[in-house]
Structure 1
Amino acid sequence: MKKIALLLLSLLITNITSAQKIESEWVYWGKDGKLVYKTTPAGDKIMDFSHAGYMGGGIALPVVPAKRLVKPSGGNDDTQLIQNAIDEVAAMPLKNGFRGTVELAPGTFTCSGLIVLSVSGVVLRGHGSGAGGTIIKMVGSPHTAIVIGRGNTNVALGRTEKADSSTVNTIRTSITDAYVPSGSVSFTVADASGFKIGDIININRPVTESWVHFMGMDNMWRDGKKQTWIRTGAHGVTKRKIIAIAGNKLTLDIPLADSYDAKFLNPPGAIVVKAMPAPRVMQVGVENLHIQCPPLEIDYGHAPYAGVRVGGDDCWVKDVYCEETMNTTVLAGNRITMEKVIVKHTYANLGASKPTDFSLEGSQNLIDRCEITGGNMYFVWTSSLIAGPNVLLNCTFKGIGSRIQPHQRWSTGLLVDNCTVPDGGIDFMNRGIAGSGHGWTMGWAVAWNCIAKTYIIQNPPGAANWAIGCIGKREQTARLFDSNPVLPDGNFDSHGSPVGIQSLYLAQLAERAGTQGIKNIGYIANSKKMFPNKVVSVLPVKTDGDKTLGLNLAFARPVNTSDVKGNTHEFGGEKSVDGNQNTYWCTDDGVTKAALEIDMEGPVNMNALQLSEALGQHIEEYKVEAQLDSDWKLLAHGTTIGKNLIVKFPPTIAWKVKLTVLKAKTNVAISNFGLYLENGKSGSKI
């Protein structure tokens, strides 16, 4: 009887556990054990993201035999020592797609220049990223530690060459369907006779005036100047393989990451062109290294060192610890896996302009089990007109004022899967005039079973974005720097309660490649046990306030300045918003006109300001302005500041606030710049 009772209890627990699992209405298991996808009224659906990763997903990273062993010289510079070994292996013949590995012994390699892997089939491997492993210590002039690809030596820090999109222009046709939904794997063309199964094609999606107007991107102005979102005549390129042809219907190997609406794309319409093989570096890996730089309190524009740039296809970066690098990795190739890459910043990035550590500039890329710690930055962003699938899987990103935010000008097909951003945000949004007119950044993106402090999920015209099974606060906002209209939420499903399919990527991969596909990339099963970093823990946030005015809304906000004494952090603009009266922003001697601009990082309501000079009464004329709706509004104008100036004004919503010193006796020194909503509940975003 006792055994029967235990069995019944076990069944009851199992049934309760099963009942607690919530299904998403957008993707769920059908009765036949296959994934079922809900479609929009137009037929769009969440795409199959499982093709992201090395060799198209589900393929184990290779273990390539070592052909050269390099030991640290103990001298001032080991760059050429490592490069010589790479060049020797690069001259070896290919065998099963590889030439060999350059193995770096344990110890510290001092490197003053970049290490270039520009030949296919070469791997650079250390002896581990932790204690007792291999360290590349970066010194000297600004550079990137390791570059994969051709033609990279003169590329600016944090950038790499784009994929080759060369085509055979004589074999081309156009899509004739009135509408091709996002997530589709087939479409009809005017003439398929020039194509055959196995051909690689480029699908060119044109940027037309009618589409830009439909997206609401032709009405952006900044400081009286019209902003260009995407230039008319440009086009986004999606590369796919033909796997079937039936009459004039082409079937593709990977779903489309965007929709194709003829009424907004004609003329010239979506053009399909047979592509030439791109002469790109392939099958290159970087493994088991510690890239080390000194900690710097600096803005990213002056940061000296980046980590790894990948400009090749079917490449990988695995087990690399990047210490204090900025703009750390750029993935500009296709089918790249970046696994267990950890980036650590001791200090937050300075200034309102933010860097990124993971820049997605190619397609079918997988960022898996990676971590970043750093404040005032974008953990991950996407470049312009990048078509997915691209996937962030099982990653943890920590840092106040930082976020996952696709950055500019229409990328599509991003999956943020089981990622944790406990003190930051996940945003699929309209950035408006931010940057240089970034506008709508992302369409057809999914956040799946994530944890974040905040989410801004918006649906672009004619497209959709999703947050499914996510935990965190939903926020609504107008497009950046506008006050209205406040854009409605995108598609939130089961918000606050994770859904039963733990990982969408792993579920899709298992359906396409079987359970072995999951095991090949290091996952035993698609279960919560494989995601140990999913914990809800918000870092403690310091605050600053005034007994009368309340909470200082400017505290620790990013700051830009026109001048800094000695160009040192000691007198940087951030010292005026750090809540410490003993530190201050100061201009160089003789500089009597200056500006300090605070980025509120969202629309914030305020009705009072407080200013304090640090070195006595120097300022003789000043003005304070607030930016909203792409224009500046005067909040205060006067001739005296002194130790404690308080100015009250009607409640004003602002994205940025700027102090301009028009006249001073000698150099400017401000110890405190405070913004407040007196007698208000808070200065939270609208």
Structure 2
Amino acid sequence: MKHISLFILCWLITVNAFAQKSKSQWVYRGKDGKLIYKTTPTGDRIMDFSSAGYMGGGVVLPNVPVKRVVKPSGNDDTQIIQNAIDEVSAMPLQNGFRGAVELAQGTFTCSGSLLLSTNGVVLRGAGANGTTIKMVGEHHTAIVIGRGNTNVPLGKTERSDSTAANAAKTIITDTYVPSGSTSFTVSNASGFAIGDTIAINRQVTESWVHFMGMDNMWRDGKKETWLKAGARGITKRRIVSISGNKITVDIPLADSYDARFLNVPGTIIVKAKPVPRVTQVGVENIHIQCPPLEIDYGHAPHAGIRVGGDDCWVKEVYCEETMNTTVLAGNRITMEKVIVKHTYANLGASKPTDFSLEGGQNLIDRCEITGGNMYFVWTSSLIAGPNVLLNCTFRGTRSRVQPHQRWATGLLVDNCTVPDGGIDFMNRGIAGSGHGWTMGWAVAWNCIAKTYIIQNPPGAANWAIGCIGKREQTARLFDSAPVLPDGNFDSHGSPVEIQSLYLAQLAERVGIKGLKNIGYRANTVDMFPNKQVSTLQLKTQTDKLGFNEAIDRPVNTSDVKGSTREFGGEKAIDGNPNTYWCTNDGITKATLEVDMEGPVEINTLQINEQGQHITAYKVEAQLNSDWKLLTQGTTIGKNLVVKFSSTIAWKVRLTVLKANDYVAINNFGMYMERGRSPDNKI
């Protein structure tokens, strides 16, 4: 994308903008104070997100009595803590809880995961400044809530069959069920009763994949698969009323159900049995610490907390230097005041996430992340909301809130501030092996971000309402065309009068007490102090050739000298002439690939070699899933400048084909010089 110079001006008017609020056309208060929702022509509406959070939202997090206290031993404390957890886990339930294990003040050294696998157990420290878990040893997650699986891969939820044998079954008969609906008609409701949990099975069909435009993705000549026909998106809901064959459920549907794209018999409704997940487990008041590492996340040794249970919580936890820090793989989880800090940006074009949403009805509230070259929050495949990010602050360049994989639905990003990055509901195309359309029926509400990419998938909608920041348009990732139009921007640049949509919906459903239960006195702007966060300052990117688009972009290399980052690929694009990327001795073929993170127009390259070892090279740009040759030659030397016809690039790759010794590059710059005709190499 082009450099954004208007954002600073936008930021200066932020305070004034929040004082001059307008009304959203999509959700607003009527004369009686009740919320009114505008619908699309097919009846879809912004869903009620208020059931996100512990016990379905608006419920006070428990204060569980301490039953065991553990003090640091000075050695590896993993087993000592686990023994205390196991002791409390063997205690009887009292009012739904067995008790808390309290970690006293001090530093606990842990070489393995702490496992909370029994209902009603809490692990609590003496505060983020009082109790530290120091992670050491092999790759592991510090704390795991679940049934014994301490290393479930990111993006893979602990699932089990939730359909009872010979369970009641029926099908939806409506031609179209709008997103946001709470009722639908079935062929036969006689096998169901009020209070039943049902599983709504929406099958992926070839006709729907075609309708979504996801059957034409190719990468390097190979077809990419978005979602396989036959895969199922499953939404769980509880029946609250039955009238004839009309069923009403407790929580709105996060997706639409269109009979045109569903194979016979259509959307199947099945009575579900309870899933045997852990429940009523909490982690509180702990500092999780790892050493700062310049590393790509695939090789990072330590993660923070994985929640594989339902009705659980993580509160006031400070995670320092963990990668892929938290995973919410259960339902009705609250994560409150969790702070994640990274000293170094993630290395490479492949990015981690610190908050991974892999379940439904989850609330991430008043949390913070500082980290570069990452996804602050993403969603997993076929995950149905509601899921909510509320009042969060995310800092770091080359980073964003971006739903990530293959069709999640029902996400609210509410009063979040991303001053250095973006909020994207978009088509990721072939990125990540074919992520394609990542999100439908999502809302950004009264947010601040540097950029927004908001796109409407076929047959669905996404919204940005009352948000401040630059609107951007793009084709699906790695394509040049067509540029996809904006989704639904409403009152852009001027926040709307309902400060928080989540809090407004929660208050309407359970009353003002529900707000107070989760720590909000009212739904007013003073509850959202992150509106005053300023932007980080990027390095100076302008030199003699103009604006250098390569500075601090994510970079991958085929080889790096030594075992530290002294000669990492990032040193070739850091703007410092005294640092350089270098391969190991004797490596005479190598690649350096820069991810432009979007379509960037360039017509000039500058390459500076440290030494004179290269005897054959080429530079290519990636567009439309293919690589285009920009230049090639036999020598680079101290200052090679190459000019060529204007080219849109998503990635740029230097390939050293031959060298008489190690490869070393101290500058790999990219520019768009205006007002000139293309030249040959000079």
Scaled by the length of structure 2, what TM-score is found? 0.95
Q: Quote how far apart the aligned CAs of 1:267 are.
A: 3.0
Letter in 2 for 1:611: I
CA distance in 2, matches of 1:532, 1:624: 47
1:71 matched residue in structure 2:
71
Shift, 1:19, TM fit: 11
Q: Give the one of 632, 641, 649 matched to 1:646.
A: 641
Matched, 1:601 2:600: no
Give the equivalent residue in structure 2 for 1:637: 632
- After superposition, residues 443-454 of structure 1 pair within 5 angstroms as 443-454=440-451
* Paired residue secondary structure (2:529): coil
* Post-superposition offset of 1:666: 1.2
The separation in 1 between residues aligned to 2:433 and 2:387, in whole angstroms, is 24
Deviation sequence 1:378-432 (CA, Å, 0-9, x none): 0000000000000000000000111000001000000000000011100000000
532-541 or 578-587: bigger deviation: 532-541
User: 2:33 and 2:353 mapped to 1: Cα distance?
Assistant: 39
Distance 1:68 1:477, change over 3 A: same
Q: Distance in 2 between matches of 1:256 and 1:169?
A: 25
Partner SS, residue 566 of structure 1: coil
Contact 1:160 1:330 in 2 (8 A): no
Give the secondary structure class of the aligned counterpart of 1:347: coil
Name the CA distance, whole Å, in 2 between partners of 1:159 and 1:492: 30
- SS of match in other structure, 2:397: coil
Report the 3-state secondary structure (helix = DSSP H, G, I; strand = E; otherwise coil) of the residue aligned with 1:244. Answer: strand
* Cα distance in 2 for residues equivalent to 1:270 and 1:593: 54
Find out whether 1:395 has 2:409 as its counterpart: no
**Match in the other structure for 2:546:** 550
2:240 corresponds to 1:233: no
Q: Deviations over 1:424-467 (max 9, x none)?
A: 10000000001110000000000000000100000000000000
Deviation at 1:97, TM superposition (A): 1.1
Name the counterpart of 2:413: 416
Deviation at residue 96 of structure 1 after TM alignment: 1.5
Give, as a single letter, the amino acid of the residue that structure 2 aligns with 1:555: I
Distance 1:249 1:161 in 2: 32
Contact 1:163-1:362 at 8 Å conserved across structures: no
Distance 1:435 1:473 in 2: 25
CA deviations over 1:477-531 (Å, ceiling 9, x no partner): 1100000111100000000011000000000000000011111101000011111
State the secondary structure of the residue aligned to 2:666.
strand
- Amino acid paired to 1:95: Q
Judge conservation of contact 1:577–1:672 (CA < 8 Å) in 2: yes
Check conservation: 2:385, 2:411, Cα contact below 8 A. Answer: yes
C-alpha change, 1:209 and 1:161, in structure 2 (3 Å) is closer
Separation (CA, whole Å) in 2 of partners of 1:607 and 1:169:
64
Quote the offset at 1:317 in angstroms. 0.1
Corresponding residue for residue 123 of structure 1: 122
* 1:629-658 alpha-carbon deviations (Å, 9 max, x no partner): 111100011111111111111000010001
Structure 1 unaligned segments of length 5 or more: list them.
Answer: 1-15, 682-686
2:369 is the alignment partner of 1:369: no
In the alignment, structure 2 segments of 5+ residues that lack a partner are: 1-15, 677-682
Residue 673 of structure 1 corresponds to 668
SS where residue 74 of structure 1 aligns?
A: coil
* 8 Å CA contact retained: 2:17, 2:495: no
Residue pairs, 1:465-544, within 5 angstroms? 465-535=462-532, 537-544=534-541
Describe the SS at the equivalent of 2:431.
Answer: coil
Q: Deviations over 1:80-127 (max 9, x none)?
A: 010000000000111111111001111111111110001111000011
Counterpart of 2:377? Answer: 380
Q: CA RMSD in A?
A: 1.5
Match of residue 291, structure 2, among 281, 287, 294: 294
Contact 1:427 1:455 in 2 (8 A): yes
Provide the residue aligned with 1:90 in structure 2: 89
Opposite residue 429 of structure 1, the aligned amino acid is M
Quote the Cα distance in structure 2 between the aligned partners of 1:135 and 1:18.
39
CA change 1:680–1:450 in 2 (3 A) is farther
C-alpha distance in 1 between matches for 2:152 and 2:252: 32
1:546 to partner: Cα distance: 3.4
CA contact (8 A) 1:160 1:310 kept: no
Give the Å deviation of 1:613: 1.1
CA distance in 2, matches of 1:161, 1:149: 11
Question: Mapping of 1:52-451 within 5 angstroms?
Answer: 52-75=52-75, 77-130=76-129, 133-156=130-153, 158=154, 161-168=157-164, 170=166, 171-451=168-448
What residue identity is the alignment partner of 2:669? G
Q: 2:11: which partner in 1?
A: none
1:570 aligned to which of 566, 570, 574: 566
Letter in 2 for 1:385: L
Contact 2:377–2:403 (8 Å) recurs in 1? yes
TM-score, normalised with respect to structure 1: 0.95
SS at match of 2:134: strand
Distance 1:535 1:474 in 2: 21
Alignment CA distance shift 1:134-1:200 (3 Å): same
Partners of 2:28 and 2:197 in 1: CA distance = 32
Q: Is the alpha carbon distance of 1:658 and 1:567 closer, same or farther for their aligned partners in structure 2, counting shifts above 3 Å?
A: farther
Asked if structure 2 preserves the Cα contact closer than 8 Å seen for 1:575 and 1:585, the reply is yes
Amino acid at match of 2:519: G
Partner of 1:618: 613
Measured in 2, the distance between the counterparts of 1:177 and 1:649 equals 57
Could you tell me whether the CA contact under 8 Å between 1:169 and 1:273 is conserved in 2?
no
SS at match of 1:571: coil
Q: CA deviation at 1:202?
A: 0.5
Q: Which letter maps to 2:97?
A: F
Please give the alpha-carbon distance, in whole angstroms, between the structure 2 residues aligned to 1:371 and 1:422.
12
Q: Is the 8 A contact 2:157 2:358 kept in 1?
A: no
2:657 to 653, 662, 674: 662
Matched, 1:22 2:56: no
Task: Answer with 43-52 or 526-535: which moved more.
Answer: 526-535
Distance apart, 1:266 and its partner CA: 2.4
CA distance in 1, matches of 2:499, 2:655: 52
Q: CA deviation at 1:21?
A: 3.4
Deviation at 1:144, TM superposition (A): 0.7
Instruction: Give the whole-Å Cα distance in 1 for the aligned partners of 2:116 and 2:533.
Output: 40
Contact 1:468/1:494, CA 8 A, preserved across alignment? yes
Q: Check if 1:584 corresponds to 2:583.
A: no
Q: Report which stretch shifted further, 36-45 or 143-152.
A: 143-152
Residue 49 of structure 2 corresponds to 49
Q: 1:680 to 1:520 in 2, by over 3 A?
A: farther
Shift of the alpha carbon at 1:536? 5.2
Deviation at 1:169, TM superposition (A): 5.2
Does structure 2 retain, via aligned residues, the 8 Å contact 1:163–1:333? no
Contact 2:17 2:494 in 1 (8 A): no
- In the alignment, the residues of structure 1 paired with residue 212 and residue 540 of structure 2 have an alpha-carbon distance, to the nearest angstrom, of 39
The residue type equivalent to 2:99 in the other structure is G
Q: Which residue of 2 aligns with 1:561?
A: 557
Confirm or deny: 8 A CA contact 1:160 1:311 kept in the other structure: no
Q: Give the Cα separation in 1 of the matches to 2:548 and 2:511.
A: 55
- In the alignment, the residues of structure 2 paired with residue 675 and residue 346 of structure 1 have an alpha-carbon distance, to the nearest angstrom, of 27
Structure 1 residue matching 2:453: 3-state secondary structure: strand
Counterpart of 2:45, as a letter, is K
Write the distance in 1 (CA, Å) between the matches of 2:126 and 2:19: 47
Q: Are the equivalent residues in 2 in contact too, given 1:321–1:343 (CA < 8 A)?
A: yes
Deviation at 1:159?
A: 5.9
